[in-house]
Amino acid sequence: MRLATFITTFFLVAPLLADSTITAGLVVSAPSDTGVFLTLTPAAVQELQSNAYGATLKINLVPESNEAVGNVFTAYRVVVSKVSTGEVIPQFVFESPVTLQFGYWTLLSRLTNSNSWTVVQDMKTVLGAYWYNGSQFIRIHELITNPDRSLSLPIHNTGRYEIRGALPVETFRLSQGSPYPRVITPNAATNRRVFFFFENPGTEEVTGRIYDFQGAQVRDLRVDALSPSANCLVWDGRDNNGQVVPTGPYLYKIFSGKNTAAGGLAVAR
């Protein structure tokens, strides 16, 4: 399906703002703040109260609707900061997921040369959730269509999240910008892990392996507790025995059925 076909055969209806976006035949009314909120589990609340920063933290959801243009229908930024000083904690990561609800949506479609519109039941076939990792937007695949037509997304990371028009992926691939960062420092406060976000339209499990430059296997990778989403593998610079690996270059291979993505990265101290 070409994007030109997509934007002329779908009509998106959402709670109205004063301004609506009309782009190449696609009419979008961005959702208002009604129905947009964060839900924290007790474990996530505990992380805000007891953490490595030695301070009570708070979480805010900041609308960035003034930047919602083109195929970006709505955008919000999740911010964690210290209650006492207001200092923002960059790159804060929740171990327990936080749910971001994006409001209520209705998507209508019609066949070519037809005046009859029908409701699209699975809005995920034409909408996607994206998170900005600091250098690239990464598609997050856990977008949920709820029975009340709201969209929600379990998240672990702070930062900017968007709902965009997005066509389904046809083949397995690493997401644009992955892996990142390509140089990690396992014992540092930042850049301790490398993230492999992927697009996987099939049902095959996605796994990975890390090798040193002599070809010895160092680590097996699977979606696990380190993964910020179900379409991400993470390597923390450790081997299969939990030991931090020596500095130097390493190779990765990511597998999905018969498909493989490979490349290089480095560990520094």
Quick one: what percent of the chain has pLDDT higher than 90? 37
Burial 42-75 (b: 16+ CB within 10 A, else e): eebeebbeeeeeeeebebebebebeebeebbbbb
Give residue 19's pLDDT band: very low, low, confident or very high (50, 70, 90). Answer: very low
Q: What is the dihedral of CA 49, 51, 56, 60, to 10 degrees?
A: -90
Q: Which CATH superfamily is domain 173-267 in?
A: Macroglobulin (MG2) domain (2.60.40.1930)
| Segment 83-93, tens digit of pLDDT | 999 999 988 88
Kindly give the pairing relationship between strand 259-267 and strand 183-184. Answer: parallel
| Segment 104-115, tens digit of pLDDT | 887 777 666 767
Domain ranges of the chain: 3-165, 173-267
Burial 4-35 (b: 16+ CB within 10 A, else e): eebbebbbbbbbeeeeebeeeebebbbbbeeb
End-to-end CA distance of the chain: 47
| Segment 30-60, tens digit of pLDDT | 445 568 899 999 999 999 999 888 899 999 9
Kindly tell me if the per-residue pLDDT of 158 is higher than 90: yes
Kindly tell me if the per-residue pLDDT of 127 is higher than 80: yes
Q: What is the pLDDT of residue 200?
A: 84
Is 205:179 a contact under the CB 8 Å cutoff? no
What is the average pLDDT across 193-210?
88
β partners of residue 212: 250
What are the φ/ψ torsions at residue 61 (nearest 5 degrees)? -115, 115
Q: How far apart are CA 58 and CA 142, in angstroms?
A: 24
Model pTM? 0.69
What is the average pLDDT across 127-141?
84
Report which of 172, 179, 169 is spatially closest to residue 128, judged by C-alpha positions. Answer: 169
